[in-house]
Structures are given as structure tokens and as C-alpha cells.
């Protein structure tokens, strides 16, 4: 006998970036209308009941034992979600990789895991974008019911995030970038005194934001972000990136200056030659100062801005 129910999450406990989702057998047949983002569907076939023992009658066999038919205790799981175009999505269970797959051109993925043990199972997921940056790992705990297929839909893998420099002079731009769900938004949370900025994700999944550091204090700061789809669903937080704002003109450690491509703390003819060598589609991603995927006149103007002693 086929049965099919759909439930909404009744418990999403977010602790250190993890989901706890317990699918209860006490479910309500209702649709997900709360914009939670994740829905769970359980469907399957009820096991064939064990036939009752014959009641007397024949008498011939006389007390033969009946071996019960062992009931299979496996379950199937389908996870559908969104990462970034071409991202490698890795799903693990019990400390071992259970599935890796590549997200499609829209960032979507669908993973099928079969013959899983029933009961409470924890899965972890992360994505690696086309530039080798990894997302944080999120975990999903489900109560898998034997002889059913549980489908989790609407999972959003947190975006990848990077920054152009770990030290920036006050007033100079900090470029924050990564990959996320195409045609969504990125909400950036910048601290120490928290404020939020928003930027759009391109069709390719790439996103970037040019942060004006003028209003930031001379201090340590951090930035992390969430993906937000056009329909309002949000991912968990990304990794947190830390950066230091120093006084205008203050020297920083070698290798921290945005325009200094050979790490000698100067922006000069050597850096210009490296920039020109990478003109167009960069062979060295560092030459793409503003992280828009190309080395062009904008990057050249950034080099001129830093020209001389570069900090
Ligand atoms: Ca240099
Ligand atoms: Ca550029």
C-alpha cells in the first residue's frame, strides 16, 4: 500500500552552523507555506504483514515453528538543493564520503543515497566552487524510516567567501568575493559594530562587493555572509573572514598589500609588468585586483592608486 505525506520542519536547531531535523512519524499532511526553505517528504511502501500462523486444522505437522520473514531496515534518501554552477558537492555520513556530485549550470544538485540504515542519521554537506574555495560544512540529522524514501528539498549550501587582503589602509577598498546561488543576493554582515551590505550574484554564480573602509575604525574586523534567494530563503552563514584596518599610510606585513604582486611592499614597475602579463583573463588571479574576473583598465587604475610604497 502506497502512502505519501509531506511535512514541514518543526525543529530547526541552528548550533554552530548545523541543522537538526527530526522527521517525526507524527506528521501533518500540509504544504510548506512558511518560507522555511527546506521541506521533507517521506514516501514508501508499508511492509507486507507477516501472515498469522495457521489455526489448528491440519494437525499433521504438529508444532512446526514458523520462521518470521525478516523485515528490511534500510531507507533511501534524496537531497535536492542549490550550491553554485559547477560546484563539487560532497555528502558524508558517519565520517565517510557517501556521495560527490557536480552542481548543474544553475547551481542545483540532487543526490540519491540508497540502502541506508534506518534510524537517526547525520549527514554533512559542503561545496567546493570552481576556484577551489570551500564552503563551510553543514549537517543534517534525519530520522530515516525503514522502507521509505525521504526527500529533503530546498537546501542551500552556504556561499564561498574570500577577501582581497587581510590588512587594508583606512579609506582603501576591500574586495569581498566568492560564489553562490545564481541570481540570488548576498547579505554581508560586517563587524565589529555590525552593519549589513547586500550585493547581487551573477548568473555565473560569482559575486563580489567593494567595501569602502572609510567609516571603519582602526581595528580588527570580520565579515561573513548569507545567500538569500529571490523567494526569501536564506542559507546558513558562510565562513568568517577577518581583516585589519590600519591608519592611512601605515605599513603592513609583506604580502598584505592588494597591489603588490611580488610581495616586496612596493607597487612599482615590476607589479605593472606582472599586471600586463595577466591582461585579459588572468593567469594569476591576484592580478585581478577587484575580482571581476578580468585584468583591465580598472585594475591598472588600482595599481596607480597604490603606486610607490604599498601598504
Ligand atoms: Ca611589488
Ligand atoms: Ca579586474
CB 73 within 8 A of CB 45: no
Q: Which residues, 6 or more positions from 242, have their beta carbon under 8 angstroms from its beta carbon?
A: 166, 220, 221, 222
pLDDT at 307: 87
Q: How far is the CA of 255 from the centre of ligand 1 (A)?
A: 9
Q: Tell me which residues have their CB within 5 A of the ion that is ligand 2.
A: 288, 290, 292, 299
**Ligand 2: distance of its center to the CA of 209 in Å?**
13
Residue 13 predicted with pLDDT over 80: no
pLDDT in tens, 202-221: 999 999 999 999 999 999 99
Instruction: Give residue 305 CA to ligand 2 midpoint distance, Å.
Output: 14
pTM, 2 dp:
0.72
Residue 23 pLDDT > 90, yes or no? no
Contact 242, 164 (CB under 8 A): no
CATH topology for 251-311 is Type 1 dockerin domain (1.10.1330)
17 or 288: which carries more pLDDT confidence?
A: 288
Q: CA–CA separation, 209 vs 174, rounded Å? A: 8
CB 72 within 8 A of CB 112: no
Place of cell 512446526: 64
Q: Find where cell 534525519 sits.
A: 142
For the cut 50, the answer to whether the pLDDT of residue 27 exceeds it is no
% of the chain at pLDDT higher than 70: 77
CA of 287 to the centre of ligand 2 (A): 8
Q: Considering only CA atoms, which of 178, 160, 172 is closest in space to residue 245?
A: 172
Instruction: State the distance from the centre of ligand 2 to the C-alpha of 255, rounded, in angstroms.
Output: 19
pLDDT per residue as tens digits for the range 121-134: 999 999 999 989 99
Do 23 and 150 contact (CB within 8 A), yes or no? Answer: yes
63 pLDDT exceeds 60? no
Q: What are residue 80's DSSP bridge partners?
A: 110
- pLDDT above 70: residue 47: no
Ligand sitting nearest the alpha carbon of 255: 1
Count of residues making up the chain = 311
The whole-chain average pLDDT of the chain stands at 81
pLDDT, tens only, 82-115 = 999 999 999 999 889 999 999 999 999 999 999 9
Q: Give burial (CB, 10 Å; 0-12/13-18/19+) of 145.
A: middle
Name the pLDDT band for 45 (thresholds 50, 70, 90): low
pLDDT score of 61: 43
* Helix, coil or strand: residue 167: strand
Distance from the CA of 260 to the center of ligand 1, in angstroms? Answer: 4
Residue 255 is predicted with a pLDDT of 63
pLDDT over 90 at 55, yes or no:
no
Q: May I ask the CATH architecture of the domain 2-45+73-156?
A: Sandwich (2.60)
Instruction: Provide the pLDDT confidence category of residue 70 given band limits of 50, 70 and 90.
Output: low
pLDDT at 56 over 90: no
Over residues 148-188, the pLDDT tens digits come to 999 999 999 999 999 988 888 888 889 999 999 999 999 99
Same fold, 2-45+73-156 and 158-250: yes
Ligand nearest to the CA of 311: 1
130 compared with 73, residue with greater pLDDT: 130
CA 237 / ligand 2 centre spacing (Å):
27
Are the C-beta atoms of residues 151 and 75 closer than 8 Å to each other? Answer: no
Residue 42 pLDDT greater than 60, yes or no: yes
Residue found under cell 568575493: 177
Domain boundaries along the sequence of the chain:
2-45+73-156, 158-250, 251-311
Fold adopted by 158-250: Immunoglobulin-like (2.60.40)
Percent of the chain with pLDDT over 90: 58
How far is ligand 2, taken at its centre, from the CA of residue 292, in Å? 5
Distance CA 53, CA 40 (A): 38
How far does the centroid of ligand 2 lie from the alpha carbon of residue 168, in Å? 18
Go through 204-240 and write b for each residue having 16 or more CB atoms within 10 A of its CB, e for each that does not.
ebbbbbebebeebeeeebebbbbbbbeeebbbbbbbe
Residues bordering ligand 1, an ion, CB closer than 5 Å? 260, 262, 264, 266, 271
Give the residue with greater pLDDT, 283 vs 265.
Answer: 283
Amino acid at each position: 500500500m502506497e502512502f505519501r505525506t509531506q511535512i514541514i520542519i518543526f525543529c530547526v536547531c541552528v548550533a554552530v552552523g548545523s541543522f537538526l531535523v527530526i522527521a517525526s512519524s507524527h506528521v501533518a499532511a500540509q504544504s510548506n507555506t512558511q518560507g522555511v526553505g527546506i521541506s521533507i517528504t517521506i514516501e514508501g511502501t508499508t511492509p507486507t504483514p507477516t501472515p498469522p500462523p495457521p489455526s489448528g486444522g491440519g494437525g499433521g505437522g504438529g508444532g512446526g515453528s514458523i520462521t518470521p520473514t525478516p523485515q528490511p531496515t534500510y531507507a533511501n534518501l534524496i537531497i535536492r538543493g542549490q550550491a553554485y554552477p559547477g560546484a563539487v558537492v560532497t555528502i558524508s555520513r558517519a565520517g565517510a564520503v557517501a556521495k560527490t556530485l557536480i552542481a548543474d549550470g544553475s547551481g542545483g544538485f540532487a543526490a540519491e543515497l540508497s540502502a541506508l540504515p534506518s534510524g537517526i542519521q547525520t549527514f554533512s554537506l559542503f561545496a567546493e566552487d570552481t576556484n577551489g574555495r570551500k564552503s563551510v560544512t553543514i549537517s543534517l540529522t534525519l530520522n530515516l524510516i525503514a522502507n521509505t524514501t525521504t526527500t529533503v528539498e530546498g537546501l542551500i549550501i552556504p556561499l564561498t567567501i574570500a577577501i582581497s587582503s587581510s590588512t587594508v589602509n583606512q579609506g582603501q577598498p576591500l574586495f569581498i568575493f566568492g560564489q553562490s546561488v545564481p541570481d540570488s543576493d548576498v547579505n554581508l554582515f560586517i563587524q565589529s559594530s555590525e552593519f549589513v551590505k547586500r550585493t547581487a550574484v551573477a548568473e555565473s554564480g560569482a559575486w563580489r562587493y567593494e567595501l569602502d573602509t572609510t567609516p571603519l575604525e582602526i581595528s580588527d574586523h570580520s565579515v561573513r555572509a548569507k545567500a538569500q534567494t529571490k523567494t526569501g530563503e536564506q542559507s546558513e552563514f558562510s565562513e568568517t573572514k577577518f581583516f585589519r584596518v590600519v591608519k592611512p599610510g601605515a605599513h603592513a606585513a609583506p604580502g598584505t598589500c592588494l597591489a603588490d604582486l611580488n610581495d616586496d611592499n612596493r607597487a612599482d614597475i615590476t607589479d605593472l609588468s606582472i599586471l600586463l602579463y595577466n591582461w585579459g583573463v588572468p593567469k594569476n588571479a591576484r592580478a585581478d585586483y577587484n575580482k571581476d574576473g578580468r585584468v583591465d583598465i580598472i585594475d591598472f587604475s588600482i595599481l596607480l592608486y597604490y603606486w610607490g610604497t604599498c601598504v
